[in-house]
Amino acid sequence: MSEVPKKQMAQVIEQKGGPCVYKEIDVPTPGPDEVLVNIKYSGVCHTDLHAMNGDWPLPVKMPLVGGHEGAGVVVARGELVDDIEIGDLAGIKWLNGSCLSCDFCMQSDESLCPKALLSGYTVDGTFQQYAIGKAAHVARIPKGTDLAAIAPVLCAGITVYKGIKEAGVRPGQTIAIVGAGGGLGSLALQYCKAMGIHAIGVDGGEEKEKLCMSMGATAFVDFTKSKNIVKDVQAKTNEGLGPHAVILLAVSEKPFQQAAEYVRPRGTVVCIGMPAGAYLKAPVFDTVVRMVRFQGSYVGNRQDTKEALDFFSRGLIKAPYKIVGLTELNDVYDKMKQGAIAGRYVVDTSK
């Protein structure tokens, strides 16, 4: 561990509501089953803002180093770790660790593990130069990968890839992606394209429309202009029957209540976005006679991670991101609060 410094720079949330404070802290030491990753780039997910605001009914560690889309280089490992080497590229994602032996872990639903450790939420995350991850869970990143470009895949990519699988659609069918111009949304459009699925982007404003069409959306509906979202989304589908699935990524409640109305009969509404205090609401009669399915989808397991990263490595996933210094994290949150981010911001931990 000789080249690993004792001190590092980090963005620390010292109290609920923030802001982040850029300061020097100790470099952590990995436990027996952990690795220490020198984080080069970390994507900024809307979840990081939820964590800072403390607006979910799940207790958050405080003080906290946020971040869970961290890509970097393994610089130290615990004595039980023998399947990842110093110098290997690795990613620290939302699911930092899990027990690997409960019913859920045994069935590869690791995100449901009651002892799951969450990066940048229940354990310190990746808005620091050196972060810890359980070796079993860190994403293996192939040598030569562009670490800034892959960072958003570590949460946004894995999550939407899993969500598409949970939607149960086939190539040639149609998914409406709600919140398509955001971080998760732009990646969802790219995964749909790679998987041969038609994607209708739903978001607001011309910048996001342009982005969605360039990411491979087959159509776009602007929720800020539409007078009837239900009709407008259905009108973009084959025979006006509605999309086979809706993937909800928006951070507002309303679209969660509209989706059941425009999804195709026998279709699936996949909930991924988590607006604070929001509820799902749908008419029971319609849900029954249209045989609508509601599905929550929460990040992905280790195999989903491997598959989602493989799509990236094959050059199929190219979503836009802007690189800023770690020092500028509070500015990124300000833009995020205004819904003004098209795509993803990635912080460079050396700046």
220 strand-pairing partners? 201
**6 Cβ partners below 8 Å, 6+ apart?**
26, 27
273 binds ligand 8ID (CB under 6 A): yes
Looking at residue 160, what DSSP letter applies?
Answer: H
Stretch of 27-35, 40-48, 113-121, 334-342 lying at the interface with Zn ion (CB under 5 A):
40-48
Backbone angles phi, psi at 46, to 5 degrees: -60, -25
341 binds ligand 8ID (CB under 6 A): yes
Do 269 and 294 form a contact (C-beta atoms < 8 A)? Answer: yes
- Kindly tell me which residue out of 250, 259, 269, 309 binds ligand 8ID, with binding defined by CB under 6 A: 250
Q: Considering only residues 27-46, where is the footprint of ligand 8ID by CB under 6 A?
A: 45-46
Question: CB of 331: closest distance to ligand 8ID in angstroms?
Answer: 15
203 binds ligand 8ID (CB under 6 A): yes
45 binds Zn ion (CB under 5 A): yes
Write out the E strands in 107-261. 117-118, 130-134, 139-141, 174-178, 198-203, 219-222, 245-248
**267 Cβ partners below 8 Å, 6+ apart?**
242, 243, 244, 245, 246, 290, 292, 293
CB nearer to ligand 8ID: give 252 or 313.
252
Do 62 and 14 form a contact (C-beta atoms < 8 A)? Answer: yes
CB nearer to ligand 8ID: give 44 or 81.
44
Structure token digits, residue 29: 């030491």
Q: Considering only residues 183-202, where is the footprint of ligand 8ID by CB under 6 A?
A: 183-185, 202
- Kindly tell me which residue out of 76, 95, 178, 317 binds ligand 8ID, with binding defined by CB under 6 A: 178
Partner whose footprint covers residue 272, from Zn ion, ligand 8ID, none (CB < 5 to 8 Å by kind): ligand 8ID
Distance between CA 249 and CA 182 in Å, rounded? 8
Closest CA to 326 of 85, 39, 120: 39
Closest CA to 188 of 204, 211, 221: 211
Question: CB of 122: closest distance to ligand 8ID in angstroms?
Answer: 15
DSSP β-ladder status, 174-178 and 198-203: parallel
DSSP β-ladder status, 7-13 and 64-65: antiparallel
Sign of CA dihedral 105, 138, 148, 337: positive
- Kindly tell me which residue out of 47, 128, 186, 258 binds Zn ion, with binding defined by CB under 5 A: 47
CB nearer to ligand 8ID: give 29 or 53.
53
Partner whose footprint covers residue 10, from Zn ion, ligand 8ID, none (CB < 5 to 8 Å by kind): none
- Kindly tell me which residue out of 272, 319, 326, 347 binds ligand 8ID, with binding defined by CB under 6 A: 272
Alpha helices in 8-97 (DSSP H): 46-53
CB nearer to Zn ion: give 138 or 221.
138
CB nearer to Zn ion: give 70 or 242.
70
Question: CB of 44: closest distance to ligand 8ID in angstroms?
Answer: 8
155 binds Zn ion (CB under 5 A): yes
Do 111 and 95 form a contact (C-beta atoms < 8 A)? Answer: yes
CB nearer to Zn ion: give 12 or 45.
45
Q: Considering only residues 260-289, where is the footprint of Zn ion by CB under 5 A?
A: none
**Which residue, chain included where needed, has tokens 């989602």?**
308
Distance between CA 113 and CA 342 in Å, rounded? 33
- Kindly tell me which residue out of 10, 151, 155, 329 binds ligand 8ID, with binding defined by CB under 6 A: 155
The binding site for ligand 8ID (CB under 6 A) comprises 45-47, 50, 155, 159, 178-179, 181-185, 202-204, 208, 223, 249-252, 254-255, 272-274, 297-299, 336, 339, 341
The binding site for Zn ion (CB under 5 A) comprises 45, 47, 155
